[in-house]
Amino acid sequence: MKQAVITGVNGQDGSYLAELLLGKGYEVHGIVRRTSSFSRGRIDPFYGANAGVSGKLVLHYGDMGDEKNLRKLMEKVRPDEVYNLASQSHVGISFDMPEYSTDVNALGTLRLLDAMHDYCPKSRFYQASTSELFGSADESPQTEQTRFKPNSPYAVAKLYAYWMTVNYRQTYGMYACNGILFNHESPRRGENFVTRKITQTVARIAAGLTDCLYIGNMEARRDWGYAPDYVRAMWLMLQQEKADDFVIATGELHSVRELIEKAFAYVGTKIEWEGKAAAECGIDSSTGKHVVKIDPKYYRPIDIDSVLGDASKARRELGWEPEVKFDRLVEIMMEADVQAAQSARQD
Ligand code: NAP
Ligand code: F7E
């Protein structure tokens, strides 16, 4: 039985990756933090006796800030594969917590790589790198050759982790890969990322549970994919002959405004826009109600206008293709959030 360690196992990607590996018969060792209330909702369905998967999930308490803990785990498990998904992953919040974001995202990666180097140097390593590395890029679409210009504390910390991964590969011959993943979403996405915030709030407005969506920069454009497609790419990267770095993206660009319009269209509401800049409002064309408003607290000190990926290398060398693109992604997320809002209304 193959063994894998996943840091950040109870996050969006960690939960889909654990599900994928358990389905392939892996023994999965997940690191979870001690929290005052349990935050394991995403992995509960496949943890324990009734999991209904062929592999086995084992959870360990740990933290990317605790070097000894990571070293002990590598010494004890000596896994075949390590997926480093743990991070303070919110770009906006990284401006409020730059030091903490650096400790977890940058130094945490170094701690893990170094523990692997000492205890299991033959293990294969996946680093959760990001399109945020490109910042406001010089060219579009972005490939593995595009220059990095990170413009948030989150992205600068991830740049350090990217290069440490390359460094351990080059210096020690470790099998270490960077997946440069563009935004990917799902019904398991954290509620304060823009896609999930929109689908959840629109579903709740339609169910009469709330009145208005408060939003920041609606002109931002992203290349949004579907998380289960992206964790498949992570696994593929660790099954090759040689370690390498890959861009994973859909190649489609859409704006936050378009996402809002599509989410409302799903519940049968047409949005008309009125006003400009921070005074702009989205109006329900059939009732005249103001259902979208700008709240400047969601503006970032600096934002990325647009990021678009070219995943040709992953297509060619990994045989990877995204199965779900923007229109279907919005439908999948709306289906789940409409169902959740309807059950909340019945409670
Ligand atoms: P997520 O849902 O925010 O999950 C992050 C995970 O990291 C959670 O399990 C969290 O645990 C854990 N974590 C945070 N701080 C930790 C610490 N100090 N020690 C141990 N665990 C810690 O993020 P995601 O969307 O699944 O993303 C997975 C990875 O891919 C992240 O590294 C992210 O930066 C990167 N990435 C994401 C995207 C995307 O669009 N989703 C794109 C590119 C790269 P708690 O539940 O205890 O907080
Ligand atoms: O913002 C704008 C916001 O927070 C997308 C992380 O997974 O992907 C993610 O980072 C855009 C930005 O994702 C709101 O200003 C407007 O321009 O959903 P987001 P992100 O910053 O792109 C990358 C690839 C990662 O690596 C990260 O870990 O939407 N926006 N209004 C808003 N964003 C949020 N969160 N909330 C708003 O109300």
Q: What is the pLDDT of residue 267?
A: 98
Nearest Cα residue to atom 27 of ligand 1: 13
Q: What is the pLDDT of residue 84?
A: 99
Whether residue 121 is preceded by a cis peptide bond, meaning omega within 30 degrees of 0, is: no
Q: What is the pLDDT of residue 55?
A: 78
For residue 270, the cross-strand partners are none
Tell me, yes or no, if 47 is annotated catalytic: no
Q: What is the pLDDT of residue 47?
A: 86
Span from the CA of 109 to the centroid of ligand 2 (angstroms): 22
Q: What is the pLDDT of residue 172?
A: 98
Q: How far does Cα 288 stand from its chain's mean position?
A: 36
Active-site entry in 130, 165, 201, 250: 130
Q: What is the pLDDT of residue 52?
A: 66
Q: What is the pLDDT of residue 54?
A: 78
- Alpha-carbon distances of 264 from 147, 233, 296, rounded to whole Å: 37, 31, 22
Q: What is the pLDDT of residues 48-73, one digit of tens each?
A: 765 666 779 999 999 999 999 999 99
Q: What is the pLDDT of residues 266-317, one digit of tens each?
A: 999 999 999 999 999 999 999 999 999 999 999 999 999 999 999 999 999 9
Active-site entry in 19, 81, 132, 185: 132
**pLDDT over 90 at 85, yes or no:** yes
Q: What is the pLDDT of residues 205-262, one digit of tens each?
A: 999 999 999 999 999 999 999 999 999 999 999 999 999 999 999 999 999 999 999 9
The finding on whether 303 has its CB within 6 A of some atom of ligand 2 is yes
> Considering the chain, what percentage of its residues have pLDDT values greater than 90?
96
Tell me, yes or no, if 130 is annotated catalytic: yes
Q: What is the pLDDT of residue 325?
A: 98
Q: pTM of the prediction?
A: 0.98
Helix-, strand-, coil-residue percentages of the chain, each rounded to 5: 40, 20, 40
For the beta carbon of residue 66, count every other beta carbon within 10 angstroms: 16
